[in-house]
Amino acid sequence: MNRTDRVVALKQAAQERILILDGSWGVMIQRRDLSEEDFRGERFADHIGQMKGNNDILCLTRPDIITDLHNQYFEAGADISETNTFSATTIAQDDYHLDAQACWDINYEGAKLARAAADEWTAKEPHKPRFAAGSIGPLNKMLSMSSDVNDPGARLVTFDQVYEAYKQQVRALYQGGVDLYLIETITDTLNCKAALKAILDLEDEEQEKLPIWISGTITDRSGRTLSGQTAEAFWNSVKHAKPFAIGFNCALGADLMRPHIAELSRVADTLVAAYPNAGLPNAMGQYDEQPHETAHELHEWAKDGIVNILGGCCGTTPDHIRHVADEVRGITPRPVPERPKAMRLSGLEPFELI
């Protein structure tokens, strides 16, 4: 299938069943116990500083590992697998002293790896096409919050710098062959808006329109993002982009995330997606929630009709995804509601005037 046909197939599949996203990449890469040399490869053998821990660089130095992880998640039942490009922007990769060319290559090659794996599985199982999502993660610098407690106006980056970093990432992911964009683990809505502008501007200039999936993060029991917004206010802030899906991931396990997903399900006139952590981390930073426990929680969400897409974030494995896929198979996806026209504004709280 060409990309246009794949996008049609993705949207059709979302009408027919609850779609399954892959699980954590970090936990699976950590299990490989890779060395500094694995991360460096030949290309970065003499690069300054430590490279270990820069998981995105493995798209270039250990593509075999990345392909294997795509295959593990597709085999477990995932419809969609993410590119290994969560931190592949010039701003985030500056911590590793990597330049714009290296960032381009990570995104482009990461997209090609995901594309190849998805195509291989689609060829084997044409009744269940697989899709590649371009992972666009958060930055280590925020536009909405000060970098200095003594100066509320202090920022380490400008909107234009964030926009340009995301624009390069989006262009490389597109050329590498992704089917949709996943702006994920959003803690700062203004950073997210820069990523959205980058996507929408590139569509106007040169690219085919691809589905956009926006996934925020509720950071704690307050029910707000790190930049202070409630679930509904967050939706009001990004709905202008007419996303294919809206949802939350990371920070919380399924039990604590549910009320926020339920709120999005009530207000969002698009697909609702969620990929929670495998519970909360223990004292050692490990995730103890077992695959059947995660799957049981998400089965209840599906049964109650509040989700269209499910997957896993921190601590989840192919076994978690296999259990989730099995638990929700055959359950009708959430119907997208029609909401009355109204003026809907957002700050930290939503405002609606019908």
Tokens of 115: 């594309």
Question: CA of 75: how far to CAs of 78, 116, 174, 332, in Å?
Answer: 7, 14, 25, 22
CA distance 117 to 5: 17
Is 313 annotated to bind a ligand? Reply is: yes
| Helix locations, 220-345, DSSP H | 231-238, 254-267, 291-303, 318-328
The residue assigned the tokens 């897409």 is: 309
What are the helix and strand counts (H, E) for the chain? 13, 10
Tokens of 38: 């694995």
Residue 99 DSSP one-character state: -
Three-state secondary structure call for residue 120:
helix
CB-based contact 134:173 (threshold 8 Å): yes
Longest dimension (CA), the chain: 61
Is 250 annotated to bind a ligand? Reply is: yes
215 - beta bridge partners? 247
- Residue type, position 253, single letter: G
Rg of the chain over all Cα atoms, to the nearest angstrom: 19
Burial class from Cβ neighbours inside 10 Å (0-12, 13-18, 19+) for residue 240 reads exposed
CB-based contact 322:77 (threshold 8 Å): yes
CA distance 109 to 87: 14
Is 103 annotated to bind a ligand? Reply is: no
CA distance 288 to 269: 35
CA distance 38 to 58: 8
Handedness of CA 260, 264, 266, 272 (dihedral sign): negative
Pick out the residues of the known binding site for Zn(2+). 250, 313-314
Pick out the residues of the known binding site. 250, 313-314
